Amino acid sequence: MPDRIRKTWGADLTSGDVAHFRLWAPDEHAVRLVLDGTSHAMHALDGGWFEVSAQARAGDSYCFELSDGTRVADPASRAQAEGASGPSVLVDHSAYEWKAASWRGRPWEEAIVLELHVGCFTPEGTFRAAAKRLPHLAEAGITAIEIMPVAEFQGERGWGYDGVLPYAPHHAYGAPDDLKALVDAAHGLGMMVLLDVVYNHFGPEGNDLTRYAGRFFNRNRPTPWGASIAFEEPAVRRFFIENALYWLSDFRFDGLRLDATDQIRDTSEPHFLAALAREVKESFADRRVHLVIEDADRRRNLVRRNDDGTVALFTAGWNDDFHHGLHVVATGEKRGFYRAFAKRPWQATREAMTDGFASIGTTKRISADQPEGRVPPQARVSFLQNHDQVGNRAFGDRLVTLAKNDELRVMAALLMLSPQIPLLFMGEEYGECQPFLFFADYQGDLGEAVRRGRQEEAENFGGMPSGKTADDLPDPLDPRTFAASKLRWERAESAAGREHLAFTRRLADIRQRHIAPLMTNCNLPSFEVYPTRDGIVAIDWSFGGPMLELRANFSAGRLSVPTVHGEPVFGIEVLDGSELSGPGIVAAVRHN
């Protein structure tokens, strides 16, 4: 990390042949560094810290030895030689030679995001292999990729949300320089790269912090995955803030997506989330860096804007309401998370597209007449699919296998041409049919618990298909389940895949030429939702002069819609006066 960024955790090369090592171990009275087999006593400091400097070079392996002789990896390890339970490896982050060295990012309004899992994106499942596929995404009009978590977790395969060493790229994907090469290649193609990070819990296996730093956790404040992290502790707070700065600096990521921020509990002032966002903003004032959140509490204040339209804390939040409303429309599913949307899915969809938050089935909606109530459309990331909405289904089926093709095209256009930031899930750009399943690499009782939990999780995402039982579910621990989740790139080369890709590219082009400029020039557009029957979406957004008009008919017939006054920029079916055949959609821009 640059010198201006304060570092308190981990090991850093301070010169060509000297490294400095630090560990917070408040439960220990003595700690030793074991560096390439040689033991060094560490100096005890106030507050539970231990440190030592020693001759070392990049590639040397090391670990810490506790007072009872237990050896543990560095919790801030930058790389692992043999997985989460093996020794840590010293990394020289200054050695990589960046090709796109002048890259400073892109405006968020230009973002068309594609979420990908490194292990499933290519047959090889590595950072380097992913980099070779990036031209395909650029051709599709993708301007940003969001990489599912890569932090070291136990085992060889997994989604990444059970990481235990948050600073170390997972060994199965490649070395730190391989990840930098992926980011570098994306920048060379004009694409931003965001990294999904998990700051709400550690994985259930391979985390040794409880052995020597019990205060890292608050066991009286549980999360769905175990004890809450104690962000009130200054050392803990720095661990995660420095982690965010590390990814953004040493790897030059353009942003982060923070997982399940509703489970980040903190009684400090300022709250950890605010402190992190502000330090990121101060540290990278010369770059466009974007922070995105997942937040089940749907807190508008986290994605609010300052009076001048600049981001106050976080750039945007995931808009599950948009997904849930349209998913009910497309599939008729009414179980689990969809139950609250089943009665009024059209109302939920319209609200999610305009207000950014549906009032259906929640009491956590802030009134729009409150100062913090309105957020601009680019503060919400909408999607038809993502890793959760596909992978937590019983059989990992994608929307292309659940919805009618003509309806799906209208939904895709609705996603891409409304002002909110669109996100696609890998393969969606060419109509991938291969499932994306939940997979992990656990053994024993933990593995059995994972197996038992799949049916319960599936109930939240549409439930079990008719005629299927828990015995039919794919085994999440079977390597074949992981293999079955990989993209089938031959689909992209098929006639159907090429046609789907061309459609995605057309939508992306229209968005960049006509929609993104509207958001760039207006801090907070007003909108009008026309009262229409179910099956019709008719919305106007006014951007301080120019207006975006969107009309969609999801029915199979010809229906009346509010009149469009602007110049059409896209259409599936022709708008004849005030009638639109369906399924169809028309987008128009009116310049006053």
Residue 371 has pLDDT above 50, yes or no: no
Q: Residue 571 belongs to a domain with what CATH number?
A: 2.60.40.1180
Q: Which residue has the tokens 């939940």?
A: 438
* Choice among 205, 242, 294, 407 that is catalytic: 294
Tell me the pLDDT tens digit for each residue of 245-298. 999 999 999 999 999 999 999 999 999 999 999 999 999 999 999 999 999 999
* Cα torsion through 178, 179, 183, 189, rounded to 10: 40
- Lowest mean pLDDT, pick from 37-46, 53-62, 524-533, 570-579: 570-579
Residues with Cβ within 8 Å of residue 40, at least 6 apart in sequence: 32, 33, 34, 52, 54
**Structure confidence at residue 356 (pLDDT):** 94
In a domain, 142, yes or no: no
78 neighbors 111 (Cβ within 8 angstroms): no
Residue 367: pLDDT band (50, 70, 90) is: very low
Residues with Cβ within 8 Å of residue 310, at least 6 apart in sequence: none
Residue 509 has pLDDT above 60, yes or no: yes
**Structure confidence at residue 480 (pLDDT):** 98
**Structure confidence at residue 391 (pLDDT):** 96
Burial label, 278 (beta-carbon count in 10 A; 0-12, 13-18, 19+)? middle
Coil, strand, or helix at residue 566? coil
* Token pair belonging to 114: 């594609």
**Structure confidence at residue 546 (pLDDT):** 95
Per DSSP bridges, beta strands 380-383 and 421-425 are: parallel
Write the single-letter amino acid at 422.
P
Its pTM stands at 0.96
Tell me the pLDDT tens digit for each residue of 121-162. 999 999 999 999 999 999 999 999 999 999 999 999 999 999
**Structure confidence at residue 368 (pLDDT):** 36
Q: Work out the widest C-alpha separation in the chain, in whole angstroms.
A: 82
**Mean pLDDT calculated for residue range 331-341:** 92
How far apart CA 18 and CA 90 sit, in angstroms, is 11
Residue 18 has pLDDT above 60, yes or no: yes
Please say which residue of 74, 89, 104 terminates a domain.
89
Residues with Cβ within 8 Å of residue 100, at least 6 apart in sequence: 184, 187, 188
Please say which residue of 57, 89, 121 terminates a domain.
89
Number of domains composing the chain: 3
Tell me the pLDDT tens digit for each residue of 413-451. 999 999 999 999 999 999 999 999 999 999 999 999 999
**Structure confidence at residue 5 (pLDDT):** 67
* Token pair belonging to 245: 């700065």
Structural domain for 554, as ranges: 524-590
Coil, strand, or helix at residue 297? coil
112 neighbors 143 (Cβ within 8 angstroms): yes
Please report, for residues 318, 417, 506, the alpha-carbon distance to residue 520 in angstroms, rounded to integers and kept in the order given.
20, 15, 21
* Choice among 110, 259, 320, 428 that is catalytic: 259
In a domain, 382, yes or no: no
Tell me the pLDDT tens digit for each residue of 45-104. 999 999 999 999 999 999 999 999 999 999 999 999 889 989 999 999 999 999 999 999
In a domain, 337, yes or no: yes
* Token pair belonging to 96: 């990589």
In a domain, 576, yes or no: yes
In a domain, 552, yes or no: yes
The whole-angstrom distance between residue 118's C-alpha and the CA centroid of its chain comes to 13
How far apart CA 62 and CA 567 sit, in angstroms, is 64
Q: Residue 30 belongs to a domain with what CATH number?
A: 2.60.40.10
In a domain, 476, yes or no: no
How far apart CA 261 and CA 297 sit, in angstroms, is 8
Residue 362 has pLDDT above 70, yes or no: no
How far apart CA 275 and CA 261 sit, in angstroms, is 14
In a domain, 63, yes or no: yes
Q: How many Cβ atoms are within 10 Å of 55's Cβ, its own excluded? A: 13
How far apart CA 442 and CA 457 sit, in angstroms, is 18
Please say which residue of 89, 122, 149 terminates a domain.
89
Note if 65 is an active site residue: no
* Cα torsion through 50, 214, 238, 126, rounded to 10: 100
DSSP 405-422: HHHHHHHHHHHHHSSSEE
Please report, for residues 311, 451, 505, 588, the alpha-carbon distance to residue 306 in angstroms, rounded to integers and kept in the order given.
6, 46, 34, 30
Burial label, 505 (beta-carbon count in 10 A; 0-12, 13-18, 19+)? middle
**Mean pLDDT calculated for residue range 233-240:** 98
How far apart CA 125 and CA 156 sit, in angstroms, is 11
Coil, strand, or helix at residue 166? strand
According to DSSP, the residues that pair with 19 across neighbouring strands are 13, 54
CB-side neighbour CA atoms (13 Å) of 513: 13
**Structure confidence at residue 114 (pLDDT):** 98
Tell me the pLDDT tens digit for each residue of 292-316. 999 999 999 999 999 889 999 999 9
Residue 215 has pLDDT above 80, yes or no: yes
In a domain, 122, yes or no: no
Note if 259 is an active site residue: yes
Element (H, E) at 221: strand 217-223
